[in-house]
Amino acid sequence: MKLTISLGQMDIVPGDPDANIAKASQMARHASDAGADVLVLPELWSTGYVLKRAGELADAVGHGVFAEVQRLSDEHAIHIVGSCLSKDVSNQYANTSVWTAPGGRALGQYNKLHLFRLMHEDQFLKPGDRPVLIDSPWGKAGMAICYDLRFPELFSSYATDGAIMVLIPAQWPKVRVEHWKTLLRARAIENQMFVIACNCVGQIGPTVFGGHSCVIDPWGEIPIQAGDQEEVVTTVIDTDQIDDVRARIPVFSDRRTDLFQF
Ligand SMILES: O=C(O)CCC(=O)C(=O)O
């Protein structure tokens, strides 16, 4: 099955949801004009890392920025995935990626499992308590956010549970962009699935972000990779490629499940 994906590599305006929603709106229009089925945005794209202002900037899922994304999804008939600051009924904050589908619905939501101490997430946010696999119209899709990329067991559990792709909104710093590229490719190759990753660009405080948003196929090839500027890039993937790659090198049948847990 063919799936057209756009990556909205945004230069996030810190602490200014209105400015970032305007950028997301332009990106959704651009992606829709390019024929995209799904637009992926970065991690915390509506606010950036201004966690000290979570009380003012976080929204309950379904409200505020999440409702704005639903409006964009309906208007442009496009699925949208990206993470924003959320709050729950007890006013606890999380880094939440929602898969928003046209027609006024969300297919699922995921709270970042591995909080990134270097950005003080552990001081402000509640970590997620479970992996989330979305039943998308193109097949099962695992949800991950940025630092989660360093934890291969998350990706391998998604693959074992039938994922054909994992979507990763991120704010990955330029200084470690080689880790980003290497880990994304490794996760795609070792799990023989598509890895779809959208980073941001620009600078927030002392941190410069690395861009290089990309889609990686199950063979480790990179059909599209952005540079280090704000841009929307689009590519078409064929999910049937997964069966071809898994037939060529049957790592899932060759796993030593008698020795290791997956
Ligand atoms: O793992 C890294 O190097 C970057 C992670 C990160 O910036 C994040 O999770 O926000």
Write down all domains in the chain, each with its CATH number in brackets. Answer: 2-254 (3.60.110.10)
Instruction: Please give the distance, rounded to the nearest whole angstrom, from the Cα atom of residue 137 to the centre of ligand 1.
Output: 29
Residues 29-47 have a mean pLDDT of: 98
Percent of the chain with pLDDT over 70: 100
pLDDT at 160: 95
State the Cα–Cα distance between residues 166 and 148, nearest whole angstrom.
11
Residue nearest to atom 1 of ligand 1 (CA): 147
pLDDT at 262: 74
pLDDT at 91: 93
Residue 88 pLDDT > 90? yes
The predicted-structure confidence for 188-224, as pLDDT tens digits, reads as follows 999 999 999 999 999 988 999 999 999 999 999 999 9
Sheet with 165-169: list strands edge to edge: 133-136, 139-143, 165-169, 194-198, 214-216, 224-225
Q: Which of 84, 146, 198, 200 is catalytic?
A: 146
pLDDT at 122: 96
Residue 233 DSSP code: E
For a ligand 1 pocket test, name from 172, 176, 201 the mutation site with the most ligand atoms within 8 angstroms of its C-beta: 172
Which residues touch 181 (CB under 8 Å, ≥6 apart)? 212, 214
Residues 20-41 have a mean pLDDT of: 98
Q: Is 214 a catalytic residue?
A: no
